[in-house]
Each structure stands twice: as C-alpha cells, then as structure tokens.
Amino acid sequence: MKIGIIAHLKYPIAKPFQGGLEAFTYDISQRLLARGHDVILYACAASDPILNVRPILSVEDHSPIVSSKFTSRELSMEFIATHHAYVEMMQEIDNDGLDVIFNNSLNYVPIMMASLVAAPMLTVLHTPPIFELKNAIRREQDYGGVNYVSVSVSNAQNWKDYAPECNVIPNGIDLKTWQFYPDNEGEYVMWFGRIHPDKGLHIAIQAAKVAGKKMKIAGAISDEFYFQEYILPLLDESIELVGHCDHNALNELIGNAQVSLITPCWDEPFGLVVAESLACGTPVAGIARGALPYLLCENTARLSLTEDIDELAQCIHDAAALSRRGCRERAEQNFDVEMMVDAYEQLLEGVAKKAVPFKITASAA
C-alpha cells in the first residue's frame, strides 16, 4: 500500500520523544516501511529522515507553546502556521497517489477536508473529545469518508456520540528494547513523562513524600509556568530531576525503581508510560482515571480512586509488593508493538478498499 501518515505538528517525530504520540507515530511509520509499504510521513521539518518525511512545517514556523498562561485571546502564530500547513497539505495530497491516509494529527483540518481528496482516511482518536475534533467529525459524517479507531476502550466510549463505529487498537511498544528487571536495585519511586498539568506530577511528589520515598523524575518541561509555580516549590533533597533521558537511561531508571507513579489529571486515552513501566517489570501506583483501570490489573498496580494524597501514598506501599514478573507478562500479552502494527495494517487495508473488515474490542485497553 501507499500510505500517507499525517503527524501531529507540535513536536518533531524524532528521538528522544517528547511524548507518547511522537513515539507512536515513529514506531508505526518505521514498521510499516519495514513491512514493505510505501510510506510518506507528513510532519515537522525536524523529524527523523529515515521515516521518509515530507516536511509540511518548517523549523522557523515550529515554536511549541510551553506555558499554560496566555495573555492574549488572539490566535497564536503556532496555531495559524499549523492550520495553513495542514490546509496546503490536503490541497496537494492527491498528487502523491495514496491508497489510504492515516491521520494522527489531532487537528480538525484533515477531517474537514477529507471529502475533497480521493484517498480514504483512517483517523486515530488519540485524545478524549475536544471541541475542534467533535465539530469536524460531526460535519464529516454527512459525507462518510473517514473511518475512526481509538487507542482504548475507555476513549472509544468517550467518543461514541461522535464516532459510534470506532474500532479499538491498543498502543504497543517494542518489548525487545525494554530490558526486564526481575529485581530492582534502587530505593526510590519513579515518575516519567512530560512535565505538564495534565500529568499530575505535583500530586505524585506529595504522595511520595507522604509515603516516605525518594523519587526520581525524568521528562521534558512542556509547561514552564506549571513547573515554576507548582513543581519547584515541592523540590527538596528527596527529589531528583534527571531531565529528558535517552532510551537506555530511562529503561535503567524505571527498571531499578520500586514503583512507577502515574498520575493523570485528565481522562488519559492510553498512556505509553504504563506499557513501558510494565515492560521493565515495575509495578504502578496511580490514579484511576481514563484508560488506567483498563490497562492495569490487580496483579500489576494499585490505583487510588481520587487525587487524595494519603490514598495514593498507600498505593505506593502496596504496589511495591507486587510481582515484577507479572508486570512483564502483562506487557507481553497486551502491549506488544507487532500486535499493534498487525491490527493497523489489516485495518488500513480494509479502509483502502473502502471497507472496514473487522471490529477490535480489546478488554485490556
């Protein structure tokens, strides 16, 4: 197949990844290429060239927002540049002779313009329902040119009023690249991901302190205001910031941790950090929001029902006693990247033929 993959433009599709969506887009592009498909990745200019990138946003126009504080109601230059990039791409995309468009953009433009292009489209719903996408999907369904898939049962349920025929394909990771640690050597708990209000790092730090645990934090600061106002005041000698690590360093940090803290403050649609922690053999203590209760089980995690600090601190103690082998087995059974690519390949082939051939329902996602 000739597949056009549309990427999110907030960050380049390149290592080290800024977040799970960048990792997903990289993995799916690389593996579809390896399986012999003709892939074009429409992405930021700084994306990895091994993915056969067609740059649609220049480095000069790429300036990600790093603060949740806005002083103007005017549209940002980033928003305008992104809008124009997608419009120009969709106006020209038929020239590439695609069999199918694989849309991972989180943007309304590709969906709104889908009826104007020849190739059918598969759109992955990586987020809970957001205003721009809801309106675009409602309007698109007057024409019926787009098929939808989501990354978890919980997120598909959130979208059921807008995309009722949504397939479900759980995200996966390359388990061969994540070393399993049957025994942890560290006396600390781990938090990793983007430092952003949605990820709840401030809650994790407080819970670790109540639990009497040292803590290591790995990840890039994607919201400077949040970091300055909510995280810096909590830091002391028990907390170590290790920054944005490469894969091997992160694998070692997670693998040697007693527990991974995963603390979403929104309805997280999936969370690759769950799969990555389990692959290392590290059990999870977290907040039961979004997909987490579906991704995890009583053998691999302890989840608090609320953001209560004391409850989460108890979850840390309880999770530390869980089987590390059981965590790895959960990852192998549910979150293998090759299983994910198999499912997407089959679905893309069906969409290319203008027929969706199967319905996936993954109870573990």
Please report the DSSP string for 13-59 in residue order. S-SSPSSHHHHHHHHHHHHHHHTT-EEEEEEETTS-GGG-EEEEE-T
Domains contained in the chain, CATH given = 2-172+337-352 (3.40.50.2000), 175-334 (3.40.50.2000)
- The answer to whether the CB of 246 falls within 8 A of the CB of 220 is no
Amino acid at 184: N
Structure tokens at 9: 């433009």
Residue 71 pLDDT: 44
Residue pLDDT, tens place only, 182-193? 999 999 999 999
Residue pLDDT, tens place only, 45-66? 999 999 999 999 987 665 554 4
The number of C-alpha atoms within 13 Å of 91 and in the hemisphere containing its C-beta is 7
Largest CA distance in the chain: 60
Q: Which of 37-51, 59-73, 279-293 has the lowest mean pLDDT?
A: 59-73
Residue 358 pLDDT: 47
**Sign of dihedral through CA atoms 268, 104, 273, 169?**
positive
- The answer to whether the CB of 107 falls within 8 A of the CB of 86 is yes
Cα(155)–Cα(266) distance, integer angstroms? 12
Residue 72 pLDDT: 44
The number of C-alpha atoms within 13 Å of 322 and in the hemisphere containing its C-beta is 30
Bridge partners, 195 (sequence order): 221
Say what percent of the chain tops pLDDT 70. Answer: 93
Cα(78)–Cα(61) distance, integer angstroms? 7
Mean pLDDT of the chain: 91
- Does 360 have pLDDT greater than 70? no
C-alpha angle with apex 122: 14 to 109, nearest 5 degrees?
Answer: 75
Q: Roughly how many angstroms between the first and final C-alpha of the chain, as a whole number?
A: 28
- The answer to whether the CB of 87 falls within 8 A of the CB of 116 is no
Amino acid at 51: L
**Sign of dihedral through CA atoms 37, 38, 41, 45?**
positive
Q: How many residues make up the chain in this entry?
A: 365
| Cα-based distances in Å from 340 to 24, 125, 346 | 10, 15, 10
Residue 78 pLDDT: 81
Residue 354 pLDDT: 80
Cα(108)–Cα(233) distance, integer angstroms? 38
Band the pLDDT of 75: cuts 50, 70, 90.
low
- Does 68 have pLDDT greater than 50? no
Residue 66 pLDDT: 46
- The answer to whether the CB of 281 falls within 8 A of the CB of 182 is yes
Q: Taking the CA atoms of the chain, what radius of gyration do you get in angstroms?
A: 20
Band the pLDDT of 254: cuts 50, 70, 90.
very high
SS3 of 330, please? helix
Higher pLDDT, 256 or 131: 256
Amino acid at 35: R
Structure tokens at 25: 């887009």
Question: CB count, 10 Å around CB of 132?
Answer: 13
Model pTM score: 0.85
Band the pLDDT of 142: cuts 50, 70, 90.
confident
Q: For the chain, how many helices (H) and strands (E)?
A: 13, 13
Say what percent of the chain tops pLDDT 90. Answer: 81
Residue 292 pLDDT: 96
Instruction: State the Cα torsion 43-144-348-84 to the nearest 10°.
Output: -10
Q: Tell me phi and psi for residue 30, to 5 degrees.
A: -60, -40
Amino acid at 275: A
